[in-house]
Structure formats: structure tokens, C-alpha cells
Chain A
Amino acid sequence: MNDDKIITSGTPSASAGKRGTAVRSDCWIEITLGNGATAGSNSNTGNTANSSGNAESPDRHNSAGNNDISVKSKVGALYGGAIKAQLSKLADFFGIKGATISIEDAGALPFVIAARFEAAVKRLNPAETREYLPLFGEFDFPDTAKDRLRRSRLYLPGNEPKFFVNAGLHEPDGLILDLEDSVAPAEKDTARFLVRNALRCVNFYGAERMVRINQLPMGLEDLKFVIPHKVNLILIPKVEEANAVIEVGNEIQRLKEKHGINRDIRLMPIIESAKGAINAYKIAAAAPSVCSLAIGLEDYTADIGTERTLEGTESFWARMQVVNAAKAAGVQAIDSVFSDVADMEGLVKSTLESKSYGFEGKGCIHPRQIQPIHAAFAPTSTEIEKAKKIFVAFQEALAKGLAAVSIGSKMIDPPVVKRAEKVIELALLNGLIEKDWMVNYGND
């Protein structure tokens, strides 16, 4: 790849991103090649960074590109200089010279500007293979355990950066950057850069870092944009056969080896069709990296030719199928999203129902759904008391070196102990018991 190749490419102009009065925290960037503009003949007018006369003018001297950069930004008075400097740097990175670069900015963060720029570059020249990777944020990128809590997972449309930065503050167990249904077909390419940059730059504040890829084969290409960037979990949509999971697993393995990645990357296949439901167990057991099996009811109900109702009788079989398949494969069962954002009561009811079926998690499409879901999955006081009893008996048995646990004359099996541990963990997380509850246990 060299600079000449770009300049002689057939397309003179390309753009990416969003503009208009309704746009927020995003930008639109256009790159036009070959108009012979030089740095000296900058034609900016009006509300541009140039006219803001800022003291920290962009370090144009570093740019060998002689590009004509015009900045129209809602935050121009405060970040016009920074935006211009960033565009100049990006142009240098991609070897763009003598181009006209325009940005219409509605407060886009730097990682968004970089993603939009790269998308425009690659629309201009599809042969461009260099990736502009922003530095990883200076915060934790924790690995996640296979059986960690996955009560709530919040979907974030992959091409809507305004939702990204604060999503983790609402404390979902998982945040999903979605490349699939929420992204228009024409924007699939741009969303990939945005999601990749978000994985590197956005603090998820402890939420599991998830990406929903597209259906295969497009989903396999998506993986190249997410696997090297500290993702924890991949959701695979509309899975009908185990093979799709295996394919994704293999591609992830290949990419991990290529990029020298050691961390575990888990899979959550989503069952969204009758065929998928029939094959649910094989799908859940298709690869050791599968941690959960989810169901997507909008598509499932459409597939079986019915409407999704609040009562959900039409999907009862499929939901139980998914629960049983998941448990048989030793993974979590995760329920669909509750799509009426305004109906908080309905959400709680639906989540309690999910819990009673054996599901351990539910999808969210709005941050306000997260806490009610967590509360609904929280154990009841009866559940907690029972769990405490089992947990304590198990600890005592361990201390005594006993192989079997019993309460009174009743033997306790390992799955029951495991369930008790889970209940205790949930109770702790929901603030229903103190961390040191065992200290005072049995004293009252």
C-alpha cells in the first residue's frame, strides 16, 4: 500500500458518519481527493475551527499532507483545534495528501472521529488494509469467568456512539455492541470501526464486554474487528446448527493465534428459529467456549408463524427447550429481551417468570431495565435462608474433611451446594446480606 495508489484510485470522494440537527455525539466526515488544495489556501468560512482563532492551533507542521481541512463543529470553540489536529494526524497515518477533508461534528469523541475517518478512507479505497488503532483506555479490561453473572445484557446499536460511553454506569452485567439487527445494511462497514474503537476506548465499568456479530458468513468477517480488542464474549445470532458455533470458535482460535491473544473469549449462541430450538442442545454443547445459550423471541415467534405476546405461551416450549439444552450442556440459560421500555411492571413480572423457568439472565434495550431485572433475579429471603444453611453445612463438612454434606439426616448433593453458592452470591450482589454474614450466622 502506498500513497500513490490512494490518489490514483477511481473514487474521488467518500464520506462516513452522520450529520443533521438530530445527530448527537457523532460526526460526518468527507474526504475528497485530487483538488490540488494546499495548506495555504484553506477555504474555511463561518463556524469553523480556523475562525475561532484558538491559541493551540493544530500542529500543521507535522503534516506532510497539505490537506485542506475544514471543521464545522458544535464544540468548535472548545475543541476545534483538537479536531483539526486529529484529522491531520489521521490523514498522515493513511498517507492522504492534497485532499479536501470536511467534518461536520456534533460533539463526537475522538474514538468516534477516528472510526468515521477510517470508514471514509476505506470507502474511498477498499484496498486500504492499514488499521488506525486508538490506544487502549487507561482502565481495567477484566477477563470474565465462564459462570459469571449474566443477569442483564444491554444492547447498544453498533452505529450509535452516543449511547456507548455512559452505558456501563448503569451497571449491567454485560454490554453488547451490536453489529447485527440494529445496524443498517449500508452501515455495516462503518459500524465495525466504531465497535472496534469502542472496545479499545470505552470503559465498560466492569460490565462484560460483548459483541453481537452478524449471521455467518458476514459474522466471521466481523470477528477480525473485535477479537484483537479485548472482547470478552461473542453473541452469535440466529444459530440453527452446531456448525455455526464451531465455525465461529475456529475463526476466533485462528485470530487469537495470529494476534497472540491468551484471554478466554466466550460464546453465547442465540436461538431464534424453530430449527435452532430443535438443535438447541447440540448448539449449546458445540464448543467448550460456549458459556450461555440465549433465546431471541422476536425472530423465533416470526419463524413459527405467530405473534409474540406478553403471556408468551407461544414460546413456552422453545424457552424450556433452551433452558434444558443449556443445563444439559452445563451452560447458562438466558432469556430474550423485554421490549416495552415503558412497562416496568411487565418487565418485573416477565423477569420473575424467566427466573421461575430456570433462566439466569434477560436482555435489555434500555438502561432503566437493568436494575429491575437484577432485583427480580435476586433471591427471596426464603431462598437465602435455605442457601445459608446449606452453605454453612458444606463449609463445616469441608472443615471436618467429610466427603458428603448433610443437614440433619438429609444428604446434600453437589448441584444443590452449587446452587446455594449462587444464591449467596446473588444475595451479596443485591445487598441482601452482609459480606461477613457467616460471622454472626446462627447467633440469633
Chain B
Amino acid sequence: MEMIRNAAGRLVPVEVNGQKRIPYKGVGKHKPTGVKAKPPVRSCADYPADGDKRQPNLRAALEKAGLRDGMTVSTHHHLRNGDVVTNLLFDTIKEMGVKNIRWFPSASFPCHEHLIPYLEDGTISHIEGSMNGPLGRFTSYGKMNGVGVLRSHGGRYQAVQDGEVHIDIAVIASPTADPFGNANGVTGKAACGLLGFALADSEYADRTIVVTDNLVPFPCVPWQIQGNNVDFVVEVDSLGDSSKIVSGTTEITKSPDRLLIAEYVAKFIELSGIMKDGFSFQAGAGGTALAFAMFLKERMKETGIKARFIRGGSTKYLVQMLEEGLTDYILDGQTFDLEGVRSMRENPGHVNTSPFTSYNYHGKGNFASIVDAVVLGATEVDVNFNANVVSHSDGLLLHGIGGWQNCLFAKCSILAIPSFRDRIPVILDEVTTICAPGEMVDVIVTERGIAINPKRTDLLEAVEGKGLPIRKIEEIRDEVYAIVGGPPQKPVLDRNEVVAIVNWVDGTVLDSVFKVVQ
């Protein structure tokens, strides 16, 4: 495999899965040229005039869609760990004897461990999308035929839009749909809130199949997915386990150390002056992020400050803030609990967004960079503020990028992380995999103090003398090394075998993930 050193100083392959790749050039340095991908022109003459695009089953739809060896099939991950549609899809593909499929999910979950036999028998050649849990382990040990491609949510939209990934068949699990193919995620027994991750698929795929367990007569309103982009509709008994699609409750962490981190984050946002009338922030569904939102909410209430918008992943906690008038809008990318789904269904201030509006880097702007502060996690960071979110220090892939890279474009990007987990330091000399170049990470908040990127002199000045535990990142690293008994040994990696690449938001290759030697 021919490798080249990119602008982040990492060795990356110049060709992956038979496709030429552009090495990372620096933030904002790669300027695309040319035109967007061109989905084929269709005619109403080829679709039923009564709008009934139903097929008796998934196999029939796949056959009509012309499924054959080597195609790219996409799915979305709004059903999260409750998804059974993707598993059913590949059971069907296997049954049809079709091989060598490139699976292009917006993310994968542990429930997709079901697909490992299909990766082994060649039904699936490789995954381009997140490789979580068991799939990550499978990939890391070099067992996947092709090379995995990890993209952010925005990067996925960009790849489809730019023609880097051509989707042959998109399969869109839809909690509610009509026979025409209009679909949404706000109603139905598998309600998941919205279907934004499937937008690019519906717009650019050659053929689109909507799969639902809640078929309603035309019109299905709202139509988050437009039937005009849909070829076939398939009814199934169940899209999945609703308790694993959205949780009944999302809970704030009870860990005192995580709460301390969350409290520091909220204090930082307040005392740095970011928290002011009309500001905006993003917080996900992790226990620490939720706790941060709660602490910030208290401070906002006490000081009478209102946000213009909050960027979700929504939860009941963000919904409360919307309903209590602490924000005008929730701009939501996905809903994590039932309250989020209800709010999106009922409240016009709870807006469903897509990776196109929020994250796509090859557009005329996106709103990620309008957000004042974002609070994210990470598996590792290093003293140069480079951060990793896909693999752990043992080299194993365990997470997808999600919207993480895209969110870094917020005016202040904050990583809220423990300084070590079990015995394993989180702040290191060098991260195993770079997912964020150091210049994109502004603040690292740990239970042992807050490290501000020295490039952000404005932030350093803003919090000076405010009583926050501001420390040099090297100091925190050294303290943790002293606690855990020195830096960890390096995992044994086969540097000749790239099992996956990590793309930057502009489609260039930021880093390689190497095979872990067992």
C-alpha cells in the first residue's frame, strides 16, 4: 500500500478500495472543484400514478432496484441499537446470493454484530461508516476484506454530494410512511424523532427503498423524507426494539467526578463570557454533557440569560429548557429520548435538521460554525490538542466519528473528558489516531483542571483571575502519569496493514487506523 505523509504528519494511503484519495492538507486548505454528483433523471411515467409504490417484501424491492454484486447499499442509524432493518436487509441480500456489497451506514451499533458472518463470507466487502463495538474489533483485527472509511456525519453528506460515494440503493427505515414514500420519524411505534441522516441517501441514490412498520394513507405528514425521491415502499412487522431506539429516560451521570467536569464546563462557559443573551451551544446525550446542560441551565436561570438556540441531540433536559423559555429553538440532529420525540412532534421551536444544514463542509456554510460553544467527548487527546474519538489507546476501533468533527467548527470547542479511565491516561504525548487536528480543539476540561489551547489567547485572557482551575495540558498529563505509573506501553500494530482511514470533513484523509496484532 503506497503511503504518504499528510499535513497532520500522519502516514496515509493514497488509494483505498481502488479509489484515489487526497491526503489531508490542513484545515480549510482543500478546495473542491467541479460539480456535484448527478442522480439519474426519472419520469413519472415509470411510477404508479396512484402513488402506490408498495412491494410485497424487501427481496422484491431489492430485485426491482436491480441489486447485484459489488453495489453500495446505504442505511441510516436513527433506530440506533434497536435497529432490525439493517440486519433483515443483509439477511435478504445473503439469501439472494449477492456478494461484495459496500455497506454505507451513517453509523453502526452493537446490534449489527449480526452482520459479522456476512463480512466473513463476502456478502459485505467492507463498511464505510462508523464501526462500533464488535464491528470495530472485527475491523481492527484485520478481518474485513476492504478498508473501512470513517467519516463524520457532515463528511458522509459531503462524500455523497461530491460523488465520492455513489449509493446504488438506499434503504430507509421509516417509523411512519405512506405508499408514495413520504416518511417521518416523529410518529409510529418505532418513532425516533427525525430522519435527517437519510437525506443525502434519498436525494442521491439511484434507487431508494422506504421500509416501515406504520403505513398510513397518503399523505404522511410531515414528510421528512419526500416520496418524490422514493422508488419502493416495503411494509414489515417491526423496525426494531423501540426501547433501544429511544430510551424512556436519559439520565444525568451520578459519578461525582463526571459531575465535577460538567460543573467546570458550565463555569467556563459562564465565566469566559460565552454565556450571554442570544448565545448558542451544543450538548449531546452523554452523561457528562447532560449534566453540563443542567448546570448551565441553573446559571442561565439565575442570571436571566436566554439562548437563541441549542443544538441537539435532544433529550428531555433540552426540551425542558425550550419549554421553560431558556432557548428559542432546539436545532435537532437526532432525538435520544421519548420527550425529545414528543417535543419534535409538537413544538415548532424544535426543528429537525440534517447533516446538510448542520454539518456539510462542501456547502455555502453550515451552522456548526455559528454555534458559540460545543461540548464533546474524546477517547484520547494529546499535549498538542490533537484528539481521537474512534479508537482507544489499545488501538481498537470502538466508535464512529458522528458529528464530532463537524462540531469542532463551533466558536469554542470543548472536550469534557476524565484525565484517565481505569488506569489508562486520556491525555497523552501522542494520540493513537488523529480525528481532530489540534488547532480545532480549544479547551480540554478534566476533573484535574482545564487546559486551554495556547493558540486561544482570547480565551486564556477571558478567564484569567476568574478562579477557574486553568492548567497547562502537560501538567495534567504529568500528574496523571504519576498516578497511573507512567505512560502506557504502545499497542502492537501492524503498520503495513491499514484497516481503516479517518477522513477529515472535506473528504481528505487525516489518519490511518492500523491492524491490531492480537
Contact = CB atoms under 8 A, between A and B. Distances in A.
Interface of A: 24-25, 51-56, 74-75, 77-82, 86, 106-110, 137-138, 165-166, 169-170, 366-368, 431
A367 B489 CA distance: 33
B291 to A, nearest CB: 11
B260 A53 contact: no
B260 A75 contact: no
B492 A53 contact: yes
A81 B492 CA distance: 13
Interface string B256-289: 1101100000000000000000000000000000
Contact of B517 (A53, A81, A106): A53
Interface of B: 256-257, 259-260, 393-395, 421-424, 447-448, 467, 482-486, 488-492, 517-518
Given A74-B422, A367-B256, A82 B482 contact: no
With a 10 A CB-CB cut-off, give which of B256, B447, B467, B518 has the most chain A CB atoms.
B256
Nearest to B486: A82
B256 A366 contact: yes
Given A78-B489, A109-B423, A165-B483, A431 B257 contact: no
Contacts of B256: 166, 170, 366-368
A51 to B, nearest CB: 8
A52 B448 CA distance: 31
Contacts of B421: 107
Contact of A82 (B447, B485, B490): B485
B482 A106 contact: no
With a 10 A CB-CB cut-off, give which of A74, A81, A107, A166 has the most chain B CB atoms.
A166
Contacts of B486: 82
A343 to B, nearest CB: 15
Contacts of B488: 75, 78-79
A157 to B, nearest CB: 14
Contact of B490 (A55, A110, A137, A170): A55
27 contacts: A52-B492, A55-B490, A75-B423, A75-B424, A77-B394, A77-B395, A77-B489, A77-B491, A78-B423, A79-B424, A79-B485, A79-B489, A86-B485, A107-B423, A107-B424, A108-B423, A109-B423, A110-B484, A137-B482, A138-B482, A165-B483, A166-B257, A169-B260, A169-B448, A366-B256, A367-B256, A368-B256
Q: Which 3 A-B pairs have the closest CB atoms?
A: A107-B422, A78-B488, A367-B256
Contacts of A25: 422-423
Contacts of B395: 77
Contacts of B423: 25, 75, 78-79, 107-109
Given A56-B489, A78-B393, A137-B482, A166 B447 contact: yes
Given A53-B492, A138-B482, A75 B448 contact: no
B188 to A, nearest CB: 36
B489 A170 contact: no
A367 B486 CA distance: 27
A109 B486 CA distance: 11
A124 B421 CA distance: 32
Contact of B259 (A54, A78, A368): A368
Given A54-B490, A78-B424, 12 more contacts: A77-B394, A78-B488, A78-B489, A79-B489, A106-B422, A107-B423, A109-B483, A109-B485, A138-B482, A166-B257, A170-B260, A368-B259
A261 B468 CA distance: 37
Contacts of B448: 169
A165 B491 CA distance: 26
Contacts of A74: 422
A169 B257 contact: yes
B396 to A, nearest CB: 8
Contacts of B517: 53
A234 B470 CA distance: 34
A79 to B, nearest CB: 6
Contact of A78 (B467, B482, B491): B491
B268 to A, nearest CB: 16
Contacts of A108: 423
A212 to B, nearest CB: 20
Given A75-B424, A107-B422, A108-B423, A54 B260 contact: no
A56 B394 CA distance: 15
Nearest to A163: B256
Contacts of A431: 467
A360 B517 CA distance: 58
Nearest to B259: A368
B489 A54 contact: yes
With a 10 A CB-CB cut-off, give which of A52, A81, A106 has the most chain B CB atoms.
A52
A330 to B, nearest CB: 34
Contacts of B422: 24-25, 74-75, 106-107
Contacts of B257: 166, 169
A166 B518 CA distance: 33
A137 B485 CA distance: 11
A81 B491 CA distance: 11
B485 A78 contact: no
B302 to A, nearest CB: 14
A82 B489 contact: yes
A55 B489 contact: yes
A165 B479 CA distance: 12
Contacts of A367: 256, 260
Nearest to B518: A51
Contacts of A165: 483
Nearest to A77: B394
A406 B482 CA distance: 54
Contacts of A75: 422-424, 488
A278 B259 CA distance: 42
A51 B482 CA distance: 26
Nearest to A367: B256
A24 to B, nearest CB: 7
A75 to B, nearest CB: 5
A156 to B, nearest CB: 12
Given A166-B447, A170-B256, A54 B492 contact: yes
With a 10 A CB-CB cut-off, give which of B448, B482, B486, B488 has the most chain A CB atoms.
B488
Contacts of B259: 368
A383 B243 CA distance: 54
Nearest to A137: B482
